[in-house]
Amino acid sequence: MSFLESERVQDLLARAGLERLPPRARVGVACAVALVLAVAVWRFWPAAPAPEIAFDEVAEAGETEATRSEETSEAIPAVAVVHVAGAVLRPGVYALPLGGRVSDAIAAAGGALGSAAADAVNLARMVADGERIYIPTQEEVAGAVQGVGSAGSWSGEAPSSAVGADGLIDINRATVTELEELPGVGPATAQKIVDDREANGPFTKPEDLMRVPGIGAKKFEAMREQVSVG
């Protein structure tokens, strides 16, 4: 017995007044009914809920990342690393905030000793990264003034008339070795300064150093407080 000849189907056809339809017509009706039911199920079957987007979690993750970036920036402050030597309590290498003064460097090294001639250096000068700051003793300063003993960097070397008691280097008389004491000046740049001086005459003001190849405004600013023109 086929599905269309079953009692259940015959009863449904009778109720609908379709019991006299030929077999082919009954098949068409059954297909139409099945199609309608399929469409109804597809149309009205409840859809799966849309996935929830955890906006709070996304925002929290963004805030956490921003916080980490801020902490990283704060963890790497801008500093100037200097070598403090001479008549100080704790000679050594110290990191100072950019814009720090020579007086700050001396304080970081524990302060000047009683034998120090702190007035022989410019305590108000801003320090430069990589600089060596030497605090002479009163004996060293007296020897330098008399032409005996050390001067300039107060390193115990032969005196130089190019370096005054205040530690400023006269760029019109300094040798290549003395010019290398300036921040950012190596042997090559020091030689260029001497060559320019010999070729173009003495410098009339410190800013004339910027006419030397390799010395721009930024490099000059780092040494401005340490040079003189005699």
- Each residue of 164-213: pLDDT tens digit? 767 788 898 888 888 888 988 988 999 999 899 888 888 999 999 999 99
CA Rg value for the chain: 45
In CATH, what number does 168-230 get? 1.10.150.320
Residue of 178, 183, 181, 228 whose CA lies nearest to 206: 228
Residue 105 tokens, joined: 């460097």
Domain ranges of the chain: 3-44, 77-161, 168-230
The pLDDT tens digits for 61-73 are 566 666 665 555 4
Tally of CA atoms within 13 A in the half-sphere of 214 that contains its CB: 12
Average pLDDT, the chain: 75
In CATH, what number does 77-161 get? 3.10.20
- Fold match, 77-161 / 168-230: no
Residue of 181, 176, 178 whose CA lies nearest to 195: 176
The pLDDT tens digits for 31-40 are 776 676 676 6
The pLDDT tens digits for 72-109 are 545 555 888 998 988 899 988 999 998 899 999 999 99
Reported as a pLDDT band with limits 50, 70 and 90, residue 53 is low
Residue 32 tokens, joined: 């139409």
DSSP 163-221: B-TT--EETTT--HHHHTTSTT--HHHHHHHHHHHHHH---SSGGGGGGSTT--HHHHH
